[in-house]
């Protein structure tokens, strides 16, 4: 398995996602062994949502950041990636390993205050340009090799093209 998933000191432990219907805390590290990691915890609702505040989605070992957030189980040496021992790209993981997710992402934030302020604004849209800089800063903070979070670099799934948030020297060819 890639990296030691028990050491997250150099990685961020949380970020916030405003979606079309809700605000989520994405817990991708913790100092409390009783907390589920990774987990998506709904902390606020924007309008109508079938999922109540406080609901946790934690049935997977990784969170994918794509057009929405998806909790999933990375596939090991599957048909889609026989040479790989650990598949982090959500587009290459069999949907049987997906454990639930959110509606489309409006923006990502490193703090709750900014996320809640965004959620109260009118006319929100997926990948809203008003919060693109905050979203890019959050993607950069998560990074390419977080032990509990994978940012999709697949063109049909990415939230923002990798060339806009990834270190250009390390960017994957698309």
Burial of 99 (0-12, 13-18, 19+ CB in 10 A): middle
* Secondary structure of the chain as H, E, C letters: CCCCCCCCCCCCCEEEEEECCEEEEEECCCCCCCCCCCEEEEEEECCCCCCCCCCEECCCCEEEECCCEEEECCECCCCCCCCCCCECCHHHCCHHHEEEECCCEEEEECCHHHHHHHHCCCCCCCCCHHHHHHHHHHHHHHCCCCCCEEECCCCCCCCCCHHHCCCHHHCCCC
- Examine residue 73 and say whether the peptide bond preceding it is cis (omega within 30 degrees of 0): no
pLDDT in tens, the chain (174 residues): 334 444 444 789 999 999 999 999 999 988 888 887 899 999 999 877 888 999 999 888 899 999 999 998 887 645 555 555 677 788 878 776 678 889 999 999 999 999 999 999 999 999 999 999 999 999 999 998 899 999 999 999 999 999 999 875 554 443
Cα dihedral angle (6, 8, 152, 82), rounded to 10 degrees?
-30
pLDDT value of position 8: 41
Q: Which residue(s) pair with 150 in the sheet? A: 64
């Amino acid at each position: 398995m890639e990296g030691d998933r028990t050491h997250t000191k150099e990685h961020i432990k949380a970020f916030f996602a405003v979606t079309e219907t809700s605000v989520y805390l994405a817990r991708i590290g913790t100092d409390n062994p009783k907390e589920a990691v990774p987990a998506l915890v709904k902390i606020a609702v924007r309008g109508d949502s079938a999922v109540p505040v406080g609901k946790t989605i934690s049935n997977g070992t990784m969170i994918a950041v794509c057009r929405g957030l998806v909790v999933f189980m990375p596939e090991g040496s599957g048909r889609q990636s026989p040479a790989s021992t650990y598949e982090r790209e959500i587009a290459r993981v069999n949907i049987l390993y997906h454990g639930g997710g959110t509606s489309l992402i409006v923006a990502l934030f490193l703090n709750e205050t900014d996320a809640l302020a965004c959620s109260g604004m009118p006319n929100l849209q997926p990948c809203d340009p008003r919060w693109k800089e905050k979203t890019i800063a959050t993607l950069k903070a998560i990074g390419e090799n977080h032990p509990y979070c994978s940012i999709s670099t697949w063109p049909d799934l990415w939230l923002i093209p990798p060339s806009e948030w990834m270190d250009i020297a390390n960017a994957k060819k698309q």
